Amino acid sequence: MPLHWTVDSKEKLVIATAEGAVTRAEIEKYLTMMNGAGASSYRKLFDCSRGDTAMTAEDMLAIGVQIRARHANVGTLGPLAIVVPPAKSERVSRVLGILAAADRPMRIFSDAETARRWIGSLPK
pLDDT tens for 25-49 read 999 999 999 888 999 999 999 999 9
Dump pLDDT digits (tens) for 45-87.
Answer: 999 999 888 788 889 889 888 888 888 777 789 999 999 987 7
Q: What is the pTM of this model?
A: 0.89
Residue 55 and residue 39 in contact, taking contact as beta carbons nearer than 8 Å = no
Residue 21 and residue 52 in contact, taking contact as beta carbons nearer than 8 Å = yes
Residue 50, domain CATH: 3.30.750.24
Range of 63's domain?
3-121
Count of the separate structural domains present in the chain: 1
DSSP state string for 71-118: HHHSSPPPPEEEE--GGGTTTTHHHHHHHHTSSS-EEEESSHHHHHHH
Whether 11 has a pLDDT exceeding 90, the answer reads yes
Dump pLDDT digits (tens) for 90-118.
Answer: 777 777 787 878 889 999 999 999 999 99
